[in-house]
Structure 1
Amino acid sequence: MNTHPVRWDALLFGFLFTLVVAGWAAVTYDLVSVDALAIAGPVALIIAGVAGIALTLRRTS
């Protein structure tokens, strides 16, 4: 069986998609308010961006 390398861009996109679905479910089931989600969304995007930059720098070094 051959192992394939991890595609970090696909992994980050999947993580972002999971966060969007989790946010939608949390608002739908009244687990969190929209105001709290307005703070959590940008924080998640910043974390994903920093992870992407770190992985890019790691690959080029």
Structure 2
Amino acid sequence: MKRHAFRWDAVAFGLFFLAILGQWAVWEQDMLSPDDLGYIAAGALILLGLVGIVATVVSARSGHRTAPFTPEPTNDPSTMEGTQHDEPQATPPQ
């Protein structure tokens, strides 16, 4: 299965939707008091921080790491333009 890139736009939309839902629950339905909503938001942020720390520790301990692509050096002096250049070679000062 191919791994897909993380989509920040979906996360932002989800958080925006939850913020509107929270506002509706507090002001229209009286499900939560504003203080309760503040405690829930703080608890959610703390929980997300702990999840991030655990994920970082787990990924740091796993042996499955891939190095970034590094091209092998070559001794070929030619460039993409070829070995012939229109510019004259610089001579060292005497």
Q: TM-score, normalised by structure 1?
A: 0.63
Higher relative contact order (CA 8 A, sep 6+): 1
Identity of aligned residues (%): 28
Separation in 2, partners of 1:21, 1:54: 29
2:45, 2:22 → 1: CA distance?
A: 13
Pick closer, same or farther for the CA change 1:50–1:4 going to 2, 3 Å: same
Aligned to 2:76: none
Aligned to 1:31: 31
Q: Is there any run of 5+ residues in structure 1 with no aligned partner, and where?
A: none
Match status 1:47 vs 2:47: yes
Q: Which runs of 5+ in 2 are unaligned?
A: 62-94
Taking structure 2 as the reference length, the TM-score comes to: 0.45
Q: Which 4+ runs in 1 deviate beyond 4 A?
A: none
